[in-house]
């Protein structure tokens, strides 16, 4: 199984009473899949899982499992412990678990490798490593990444290192055929695809799913000029959507589009500002008005 294409890490919409708006969440999943997404991510950081109760997390996962089963779509689920992974064995719809490199501890490359080896042995589903060093504090070199890619049960990586560095170039030059590299840094997805990435886990795809699907198709087809043009426009959109802590701006845009009942986020996040939302909506309009 090689993961490829666009995966939308879904927000958790809230209603006017502050509860999870499950109907709006259901609609968002269908919209993403209708627009060509390969699948969705449940309970990733974009979904504010730490701010949800256990019951709310179960309800979110129930909704996404049901839709993905109905649509035969891929479902990735954020899970970072043996206990959370084992619970996924009760959900046959789950394609893989998205597992964060251990944050804060900085155990070194060998510690990270041992950690994922332990998780993979215990997990009933394959793992996708989430590597985001500017959040976790743990850097991994190209050799570390190759060793992770060689672990049984590890099928991919969400690669979000803040740009394109030397280790990224080195790593992408030598990837085993059945291991997926999924870009997780929305602004840099186009150059990452140019270097050989298979797809992306892209929060910006909430508002431009069709366009990110097209971008991946253009790079995979070798249409360099078309991919570059679209990639520049999508990078500008992503910059606007991440101008404040994610997913505040995305939620504000979705609310302005009438797709979710409120733009609310939960603490410690704060709602996006009016000016930031205006710029993001302008970027969406610009993307729609450029001739293909």
Residues with active-site annotation: 130, 158
Backbone angles phi and psi of 93, in degrees to 5: -75, -15
Token couple for 267: 């603490």
128 close to 3: Cβ distance less than 8 angstroms: yes
Q: Compute the Cα dihedral for 247, 157, 67, 202 and give only its sign.
A: positive
Report the alpha-carbon distance of residue 160 to residue 157 in Å, rounded. Answer: 9
């Amino acid at each position: 199984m090689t993961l490829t294409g666009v995966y939308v890490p879904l927000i958790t919409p809230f209603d006017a009473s502050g509860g999870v708006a499950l109907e709006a969440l259901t609609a968002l999943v269908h919209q993403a899949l209708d627009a060509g997404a390969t699948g969705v991510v449940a309970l990733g950081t974009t979904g504010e899982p730490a701010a949800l109760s256990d019951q709310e997390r179960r309800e979110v996962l129930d909704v996404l499992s049901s839709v993905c089963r109905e649509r035969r779509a891929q479902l990735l689920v954020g899970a970072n412990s043996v206990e959370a992974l084992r619970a996924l064995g009760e959900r046959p719809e789950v394609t893989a678990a998205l597992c964060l490199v251990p944050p804060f501890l900085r155990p070194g490359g060998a510690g990270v490798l041992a950690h994922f080896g332990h998780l993979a042995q215990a997990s009933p589903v394959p793992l996708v490593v989430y590597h985001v060093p500017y959040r976790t504090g743990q850097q991994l070199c190209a050799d570390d990444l190759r060793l992770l890619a060689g672990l049984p049960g590890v099928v991919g990586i969400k690669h979000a290192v803040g740009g394109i560095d030397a280790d990224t170039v080195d790593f992408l030059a030598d990837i085993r055929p059945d291991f997926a590299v999924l870009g997780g840094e929305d602004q840099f997805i186009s150059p990452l695809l140019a270097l050989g990435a298979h797809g992306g886990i892209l929060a910006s795809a909430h508002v431009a799913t069709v366009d990110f699907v097209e971008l991946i198709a253009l790079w995979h087809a070798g249409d360099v000029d078309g991919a570059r043009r679209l990639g520049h426009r999508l990078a500008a959109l992503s910059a606007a959507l991440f101008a404040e802590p994610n997913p505040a701006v995305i939620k504000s845009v979705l609310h302005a589009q009438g797709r979710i009942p409120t733009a609310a986020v939960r603490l410690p996040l704060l709602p996006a500002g009016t000016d930031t939302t205006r710029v993001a909506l302008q970027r969406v309009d610009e993307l729609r008005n450029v001739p293909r």
